[in-house]
Structure formats: structure tokens, C-alpha cells
Amino acid sequence: MGAAENKELIRNMFAELSKGNGQAFLDTMADNVRFTIIGTSKFSGTFNGKQEFVNKVLMPLSAQLEGGLTITPDNFIAEGDYVAMQARGDSRTKSGGTYNNSYCQVFRVANGKVQEVTEYLDTELVTRAFGK
């Protein structure tokens, strides 16, 4: 796949997530995806494999959000196997607070699947919304 196809793969991945289709979002990732969330928040770290990412990030995060995580992509830049995406979140915590983070995610795509993700975000906002 070329850069244009990789960009479309990521665009579709988040289009499905915005429809509430979390399975299609996950299906875009390789089973052995390496997902890194920068910083020192409770959700920061490197997660090896889709299942570890689901168990240590997605499930605990979803448990604290009302209606799930909403991420809206704003810009995509692609070159070779890499796609960079700028996005914004619009979510509410179950305790009634807002969780509207800004993101830059860098994806490496190979064989039609996301192999690696590095996510940059406001980690102080994560801590304020979800604690340490």
C-alpha cells in the first residue's frame, strides 16, 4: 500500500470509531501492534499487542467515560508507511467532567494493518480527568 492508501485506512479507522464501531477500529490493527502513549499518566506506556492495549487502556478508559471516547480527525499527513493524524476529542467522564483532549498520532502501516502507533496528547489533562 502507498501513502494515499495508508492515509485512507487511518481515515476509515476513525470514521468507524465515530460510528461506534469499535471492532472495525481494532480490526485495522495488527494483533501484535505496538501502541505507545507518551508521558507518565495512568494510561501512558508501551503496549505490546492489541489485547494488552485493550485490557490496559481501552477498557479502563471506557469504564470512566460516558458514551465512550470520541476522536475527530482534523488533518492527515502521509509518507511511505507512516501516517500522522491531528485530532481532537470530545468526551465526558461518568463523574460529569469533560475530557476534550488534543492528539497527534503517528501510525506505521504494513501489509494493510497498523503495526505501530505513537500517541501524543495533553497528559496533564488525562491526570485531571482520570487521576494518577
Integer Cα distance of 73 and 86 in angstroms? 6
Identify any residues that bridge with 92 across adjacent strands, giving them in sequence order.
Answer: 66, 98
Kindly tell me if the per-residue pLDDT of 81 is higher than 90.
Answer: yes
Q: 3-state class of 132 per DSSP?
A: coil
> pTM here?
0.93
CA distance 94 to 97: 7
Give residue-wise pLDDT tens across range 91-117.
Answer: 999 988 899 999 999 999 999 999 999
The answer on pLDDT for 19 being more than 90 is no
Q: Round the average pLDDT of the chain to a whole number and report it.
A: 94
What's the Cα-to-Cα distance from 132 to each of 22, 44, 94, rounded to whole Å? Answer: 26, 11, 17
- For the domain made up of 3-130, give the CATH fold: Nuclear Transport Factor 2; Chain: A, (3.10.450)
Give the integer Cα–Cα distance in Å for 79 and 87. 18
Spans of all domains in the chain: 3-130
In three-state form (DSSP H/G/I as H, E/B as E, the rest C), the secondary structure along 67-91 is: CCCCEEEEEEEEECCEEEEEEEECE
Question: Count of alpha carbons within 13 Å of 96, Cβ hemisphere only?
Answer: 0
d(CA 64, CA 80): 36
